[in-house]
Amino acid sequence: MSTRLAVIHSPDHGMDYADHPADRRRHQLAMALAGSSGLLDAPGVRVLPGPPAMPEDQLATMFAPAFIRAIQVFSARPVLAAAPEARQWGVTPDVHPYAAMHSDSARLAAAAWQAGELVGEGEALRSLVPAGGAHHGLPHRMSGFGVYNDTAVAILALRACGVRRIAYVDLDVHHGDGTQGFFWDDPDVLTVSVHESGRYLFPGSGFPDETGGPRAPGSAVNVALPPESGDDAYRMAMAQVIAPAVRAFAPDVLVTQNGVDHHHADPLSHLRTTMPLYPELWGALDSLADEVCAGRWVALAGGGYDPCNAPPRAWAMLMATMAGVALAPDMPEEWASIAAAAACSPAATGWTSEDAPITRAGPPASRQEVQEAIDATVATSPLLG
């Protein structure tokens, strides 16, 4: 296979909410850093601009037609988002509906579909959508910062290509509730989410007793971590939950949401992970894809709301891992000027360096508290118990 990694990206991918944490610089800088590091020119790596917006009739095979029409209306007339009836579709003033909201979301859906299709049809071993990762929306409702759930779209594209069993692993700090909901009663799709507990963080779900529908017991696995859990919580969850669950499920393709909004500088969470964790996580997923899925892997970036810090470096390192390319020890010399041009200053000095101290809202979670959270998952999961 000549293409090891297909990266589907356009600089204007992503949502364009005004004055909002979902900042396009997150993935733009990740691509710029990958480019200046030589990753995008490595053998077996292809960068594709992504298709145009997904047509309404194709969207309607995955999302409720009435929901799609409502999003089109609120995009054409954003002022209507303030009306009470907008709430039934998940539209709120918090996401600042804007004129291109439908088309931007439909482009991300098309990019996710292409990512799934490339791997599903055997044209690429792996694929990545740096601007993707919307995981809260349902077939009839938007949620969080996403409209059309593109993680679900990537899975559905794989299914359309004849892929039978798919494991979805969600590392975002927020529970992947929408993707879990899409496949709640599907025994051939496993959803595993590691996140800050819904007791403390949006969307308020993702507890260990959420284990799948009546026709798919064990198809959902959730690790709800206490605040201030730190790096070791993700390491423990990977070793004790994610890897065993994926191995037990034996999927044909691995799909991952690689949010880094659990980083300590992120303004929307409290897990306090650090940069050295991310290459470890990506390496573990890489090994799991090779071991269980013959290397087949579809990735979407996900959350990360400190656009100049963790997301660019973490996702460039993700691209390197997926492409099988070793990064130079030092970051590219031009990175400082690239970051400065994007109004990010000062730039990070190393791939895994921390340029600011960790500030906490409370004391660090103890290892025992983290282990108890993981044990609750193992004890309730039909797949792991």
> Annotated catalytic sites, by residue?
136
Task: List, in sequence order, the alpha helices (H) in 250-382.
Answer: 277-293, 310-323, 335-341, 367-380
For every residue of 101-166, DSSP letters joined together read: HHHHHHHHHHHHHHHHHHHHTTS-SEEEETT----S-BTTB-BTTBSS-HHHHHHHHHHHTT---E
Query: Residues in the chain, how many?
Result: 385
Burial string for 342-371 (b: 16+ CB within 10 Å, else e) reads bebeebbeebeebeeeeeeeeebbeeeebe
**Residue 20 to residue 61: CA distance in whole angstroms:** 30
For residue 194, what are its two tokens? Answer: 């590691």
Three-state SS sequence of 192-247: EEEEECCCCCCCCCCCCCCCCCCCCCCCEEEEEECCCCCHHHHHHHHHHHHHHHHH
Q: Which amino acid is at 375?
A: D
- The residues facing 233 across adjacent strands are none
Q: Is 140 exposed, middle or buried (0-12, 13-18, 19+ CB in 10 A)?
A: middle
Q: Provide the 8-state DSSP code for 263.
A: B
- Phi-psi sector, 346: left (phi>0), alpha (psi -120 to 50), beta: beta
Q: Taking the CA atoms of 251, 149, 6 and 192 in sequence, report the sign of the dihedral they define.
A: negative
